[in-house]
């Protein structure tokens, strides 16, 4: 499944990945189904441990709960220290992609290999302040590279265009199968520039979840069209 699901996410128009961080957790199953009904091609789940980032969210229990109500690809963003302790648990809970942060580990390469060995897509994220050079030797082991466009830890922040430069450089550095993802502050103003820079996956939280579920489909379609338009934005 992961190889197939990675290829599916990469084909066609860029995919908007709703960040469930900002959903209504009192109605998690309904939110997941609403996203599926609205046409989402995958879901992004933010695991925060209160150490790598100040915020604390959830762990594998929620990933397993989401998996129990959907077959959509689950893209798990591990904002945590010592991710190696939990890779097996998250894989067993139903992850299709597990993304670790380069800043959280001494050497991401053994972890990326361990993720792939579990037949899960291996992702590597870097913060806005982390230079691309820091992950250059790990790129051949990545199925996904996530350029953060905000400092991780919270939704609703402003987009940092430094991510666009990284995506543009990554396009020339990674194999064609590798997914390029951007996360943070993606909205109607920034989505087109993300598509133009080469993002296949655009993680979106507040620009979707601040709306009523009846508007999810329209928001996803609007953002997909913008990302696919690849128009340069002059106001970022
Ligand atoms: O990883 C994240 C924060 O660390 C979130 O996925 C991201 O911030 C999404 O929210 P928004 O679209 O509102 O910025």
- Tens of pLDDT along 15-32? 999 999 999 999 999 999
What SS3 state is found at 50? Answer: coil
Of 88, 77, 20, 19, give the one whose Cα is nearest residue 48: 77
Residue 35: pLDDT band by 50, 70, 90 thresholds? Answer: very high
- Per-residue CA distances from 146 to 46, 70, 143, 191, 212 (Å): 13, 23, 10, 15, 28
Q: Can you tell me the ipTM of this complex?
A: 0.96
Q: How far is the CA of 48 from the centre of ligand 1 (A)?
A: 12
Q: How far is the CA of 156 from the centre of ligand 1 (A)?
A: 6
Asked if residue 94 has its Cβ within 6 Å of ligand 1, the reply is no
Mean pLDDT value of segment 86-109: 98
Identify the pLDDT of residue 168: 97
Percent above pLDDT 90 for the chain: 95
> Residue 18: what are its φ and ψ, rounded to 5°?
-60, 130
User: Is position 37 annotated as part of the catalytic site?
Assistant: no
The chain-wide mean pLDDT, for the chain, equals 96
Nearest CA to ligand 1 atom 4: 152
Asked if residue 156 has its Cβ within 6 Å of ligand 1, the reply is yes
Cα–chain center distance at 229 = 20
User: Is position 107 annotated as part of the catalytic site?
Assistant: no
Annotation-wise, does 200 bind a ligand? no
Q: How far is the CA of 95 from the centre of ligand 1 (A)?
A: 19
Of 131, 122, 82, 120, give the one whose Cα is nearest residue 99: 122
Domain 2-229: which CATH number of 3.20.20.70, 1.10.287.1260, 3.90.600.10, 3.40.50.300? 3.20.20.70
Asked if residue 19 has its Cβ within 6 Å of ligand 1, the reply is yes
The structural domains of the chain, with segments of one domain joined by +, span 2-229
* Residue 79 CA, closest ligand 1 atom number: 4
């Amino acid at each position: 499944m992961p190889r197939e699901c990675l290829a599916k996410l990469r084909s066609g128009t860029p995919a908007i990945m709703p960040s469930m961080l900002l959903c209504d957790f009192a109605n998690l199953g309904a939110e997941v189904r609403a996203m599926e009904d609205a046409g989402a091609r995958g879901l992004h789940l933010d695991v925060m441990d209160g150490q790598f980032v100040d915020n604390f969210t959830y762990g594998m229990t929620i990933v397993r709960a989401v998996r129990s109500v959907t077959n959509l690809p689950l893209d798990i963003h591990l904002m945590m220290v010592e991710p190696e302790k939990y890779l097996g648990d998250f894989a067993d809970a139903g992850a299709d992609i597990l993304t670790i942060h380069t800043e959280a580990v001494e050497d991401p390469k053994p972890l990326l290999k361990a993720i792939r060995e579990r037949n899960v897509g291996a992702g590597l994220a870097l913060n806005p302040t982390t230079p691309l050079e820091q992950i250059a030797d790990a790129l051949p082991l990545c199925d996904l590279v996530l350029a953060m466009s905000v400092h991780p830890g919270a939704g609703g922040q402003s987009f940092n265009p430094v991510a666009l430069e990284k995506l543009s450089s990554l396009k020339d550095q990674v194999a064609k199968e590798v997914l390029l993802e951007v996360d943070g502050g993606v909205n109607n103003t920034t989505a087109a520039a993300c598509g133009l820079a080469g993002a296949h996956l655009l993680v979106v939280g507040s620009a979707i979840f601040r709306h009523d579920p009846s508007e999810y489909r329209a928001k996803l379609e609007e953002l997909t069209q913008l990302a696919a338009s690849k128009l340069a934005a002059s106001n970022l």
